[in-house]
Amino acid sequence: MRVLLAGGGTGGHLFPCLAVAKKLESLGYQVLYVGSKNGIEAKKKELLPKNHVLLDVKGIRGKGLKTVFNIFSLFKSLISAYKITKEFSPSKVVIFGGYVSFPIGISATLLKIPLILQEQNSIPGKTNRFLAKFASKILVGYKSAEKFFGRKTIFTGNPVREEIVSAFKERDRLKKKVLEKLHLSSQKKTLLVIGGSQGALWLNEIMKETIPLLTKFKDRLQIVHITGEGKNADLEKIYRSFSIEAKVFPFHEKIWELYSIADGAISRSGALSISEIAIFGIPTLFIPFPYAVDDHQYFNAKDVEESQGCILRRQNELSPQKLVDIIERLLFDIIISNELSKNIKKFGIENAVDKIVEEIIKDG
């Protein structure tokens, strides 16, 4: 069987796609990955399957001439996508979101190739809502997304990378190794702060104001903070000036190592972040990116909060003092942290990749 997989733009679309591609290849299926020259995949080519193509496709946004140009670009990408799909002649086409999904989804429909959608979020994007009418099945990461798609929907959970699941299974051994590598203490609680690819700046700024208030915990607290590219220098100085043990990274390739040492976390609530954190059962404060399309980050975390699996706050609901109070609950209130850990694990589907692959290869 030949399978064409498309998706990317952000890590939230790319990494689930790559996890499924890797599994299919390990089973002997021939895979073609299609992404965008304008997405994260163009910067991470070393992670892509050997057989891959990147199209020059963007979203139709902007005003005036910019919109006209983007529509022209989309038309060109449709022609390219059609040629690529026809030439590869896959048995199935599976899309994971991002700008490239639209031209590939349309191409599969025109060529009468069975189309499968994988929707990571609780609120589906416009592309998947449109393409759903042509799809043979829709695989969802949240049960709450089922109402948007009807009978063709199958709940699988969101696919996470093999490294995430392996790290969780070896967490105790890995934790010791990572703490030693980062020169952190096994006697302190570790808070992981993740800005994500969008909106990291706001988290960095509120943490700058919060750090002075955390000094009362400095003998039992250490922080690992991912700031986003080029935004780490100031924070390193501030942590140091208040004698709080902290490791600051602009980005971390092996995020599973940081999950392994985290006793609590502060994170945006992209679908992939929630799924990965849930595997490890990390007590977490989720702060949705307020400009996410359809406010989907809020609703992603809302599902978890309603199951008592996280603390959820919008940006405008937080102040430095409120953030300190929540950090104290996440790390130092054993009853609360244990309850959050137990309940968020329900949203971490370790075998989601296997479930998705099973649906792809079913029926030939």
Q: What is the pLDDT of residue 59?
A: 62
CA 317 to chain centre: 24
Backbone phi, psi, residue 113, to 5°? -100, 130
CA-CA-CA-CA torsion sign (345, 351, 352, 353) = positive
pLDDT at 103: 95
3-state secondary structure the chain: CEEEEECCCCHHHHHHHHHHHHHHHHCCCEEEEEEECCCHHHCCHHHCCCCEEEECCCCCCCCCHHHHHHHHHHHHHHHHHHHHHHHHCCCEEEECCCCCHHHHHHHHHHCCCCEEEEECCCCCCHHHHHHHHHCCEEEECCHHHHHHCHHHEEECCCCCCHHHHHHHHCHHHHHHHHHHHCCCCCCCEEEEEECCCCCHHHHHHHHHHHHHHHHHHCCCEEEEEECCCCCCHHHHHHHHHCCCCEEEECCCCCHHHHHHHCCEEEECCCHHHHHHHHHHCCCEEECCCCCCHHHHHHHHHHHHHHCCCCEECCHHHCCHHHHHHHHHHHHHCHHHHHHHHHHHHHHCCCCHHHHHHHHHHCCC
How big is the CA angle at 200 (ends 194 and 201), to the nearest 5 degrees? Answer: 140
Rg, Å, the chain Cα set:
21
In angstroms, the CA 310 to CA 78 distance is 41
Cα–Cα distances (Å) from 260 to 132, 177, 336, in that order, read 37, 10, 20
Per-residue model confidence (pLDDT) at position 67: 45
114 vs 360: CA distance, rounded Å: 10
Residues 74 and 72: their CA atoms lie apart, in Å, by 5
Strand partners, 189: 221
Q: In a structure prediction context, what are the per-residue pLDDT tens digits for the chain, which is 364 residues long?
A: 999 999 998 888 999 999 999 999 999 999 999 999 988 899 889 999 999 999 988 765 444 334 444 666 778 889 999 999 999 999 999 999 988 999 999 999 999 999 999 999 999 988 899 999 999 999 999 999 999 998 999 999 999 999 999 999 999 999 999 999 999 999 999 999 997 555 578 999 999 999 999 999 999 999 999 988 766 668 889 999 999 999 999 888 899 999 999 999 999 999 999 999 999 999 999 999 998 888 999 999 999 999 999 999 999 999 999 999 999 999 999 999 999 999 999 999 999 999 999 999 998 6
Q: What are phi and psi of 264, to 5 degrees?
A: -160, 160
Question: What is the three-state SS of 87-146?
Answer: HHCCCEEEECCCCCHHHHHHHHHHCCCCEEEEECCCCCCHHHHHHHHHCCEEEECCHHHH
Measured distance CA(49)–CA(215) in Å, rounded: 46
Residues near 210 by Cβ (< 8 Å), separated by ≥ 6?
Answer: 320, 323, 324
